[in-house]
Amino acid sequence: MDEYCSTSVFCADGTAAPSVAGYVEPDRYEEKAVHRQLKLLLCTRCRSLAQGEILPAVAEGRMLRATEPASDGVGVTTPEQLRAELASIRDLKCLVVLLVDLTDVTGSFLPRVRDLVAGNPIVLIGTKVDLLPKGTIASEVEGWLSERLSPLLNVVSVHLVSAKTGEGMSTAVRSILIERKGRDLFVLGAANVGKSLFVGALLEEAFGQKAKRLPLSSPTPGTTLRMIGVDCFDGASMLFDTPGVHLAHRLSAQLLPEELKAILPRGRVKPYTPTAYAAGSTFFWGGLVRVDVLEAPPALRLSFVAAFNLRVTHCESTADADALYAAEAGRSLTPPLDVASATELGGLVLSREIELELTEMQQVADVCISGLGWVSVGALASLVDKGSPMRVRLAVWVPKGVTVSVRPPMPIGGLPNHVDWAPDETVISAADRWMD
């Protein structure tokens, strides 16, 4: 078995695609067998993933339009099969560490998560805190996250971490070890939220040394295909890295592997706030999102927030937006990366119309594009006319199947206004209680 993706390895006579999970070239298998090194054997896919390639093995949306199709479905996993891997958790007495991506909280939060974990206690972890904009106050984001998600679940503590830099890991791991109480520990989250990287950082922080063999982490959604147990605790309990739950409503399901590379994090988020606004105009976010400004005062400001650089194009007249997209999708409006992919994507469809009331010197809402980022809606104080209407109406277009939602604004830096958020003093983490 390949311990990195937890898939049984197999050899073939050349009929199987090298990108299929578990496939090993016969000569490589024989060489490892001769030297009694089969436990160190990685499948061809895992070796490629470790080198930065994106090789999907989950039958999801357009992700399986690959150059080398899998042979008769061998090595291909469905989102339903991945979720079925987690079905046993609800019947166990365990501690669950639930991960959400801070750059895509709405898109990475698992729907129906209570069906998976039942009443088991949850330590809620916001990952990739190192990608939040400069000026962000982590404690405010932590409180905002707790306020959003804790009422839905049996959350015992909330933490923001970066498994890459180590930020926040010490407090989070201490809380996890306190709450575990001899139980098995399951790390859950959506595909590509950073579970395997978090498991590695957790083990290093908890036991003071880097483990030699850990689940592989890569940009490919669905790197881990089976539940992986790590025997790291005293007694019979274990830590389990679980398969990422694939969510069909995320934009990643609609992109090809090479297009996923275009929306991988490039460093800290830098909200982009254009200066040109008028009712009856349109903004394109790459070739993936269209925002029509149907009604707005001059003070309106839209801030486009994502962990990568995706060009924002302003179309002065919404009446010209269809023609602009038809001419430029896959050209200047990217991703999609070419005209053929734009055609296969099927264009953008109207997902929803949103009506908001602006408030002076306030961000009023985030319009979230699942799997991409969000648009923070606010007013520029210097342009507010107190005697004029402050109503905003927006129409948001995305690829078919992608979810658009509205939430209270996330308190991050780099926006036209500070997001007012007051922490609830009753929300105290397990680590805080322990320190008291």
Q: SS3 breakdown of the chain: % helix, strand, coil, rounded to 5?
A: 30, 25, 50
Strand 300-305's sheet: what is its strand order? Answer: 300-305, 373-379, 363-369, 404-407
Q: How far apart are CA 234 and CA 397, in angstroms?
A: 52
274 and 346 inside one domain: yes
Q: How far apart are CA 182 and CA 175, in angstroms?
A: 14
216-218-220 Cα angle (round to 5)? 120
Residue 115 belongs to domain with CATH number: 3.40.50.300
Q: How far apart are CA 348 and CA 341, in angstroms?
A: 13
Question: What is the full per-residue pLDDT of the chain (436 aa) written as tens digits?
Answer: 444 455 555 565 555 555 555 566 677 666 666 666 666 566 665 555 454 454 454 445 555 544 344 444 444 456 677 677 788 899 999 999 999 999 999 999 988 888 889 999 999 999 999 999 999 999 999 999 999 888 878 999 999 999 999 999 999 999 999 999 999 999 999 888 888 889 989 999 988 766 555 554 444 455 555 778 888 888 778 999 888 777 888 998 888 888 888 887 878 999 999 987 889 999 999 999 999 999 999 999 999 999 888 899 999 999 999 999 999 999 999 999 999 999 999 999 999 999 999 988 889 999 999 999 999 999 988 888 877 779 999 999 999 999 999 999 999 999 999 887 655 433 333 333 322 2
What residue numbers bound the domain in which 374 lies?
A: 262-407
109-114-118 Cα angle (round to 5)? 145
233 and 322 inside one domain: no
Q: Count the domains in the chain.
A: 3
Q: How far apart are CA 105 and CA 160, in angstroms?
A: 12
Matching residue, tokens 């979810």: 403
100 and 234 inside one domain: yes
Question: For residue 294, is it within any domain?
Answer: yes
277 and 378 inside one domain: yes
End-of-domain residue from the set 195, 212, 247: 247
**pTM, rounded to two decimals:** 0.79
Q: How far apart are CA 76 and CA 222, in angstroms?
A: 10
Full DSSP string of 279-295: TTEEEEETTTEEEEEEE
Question: For residue 415, is it within any domain?
Answer: no
End-of-domain residue from the set 189, 221, 247: 247
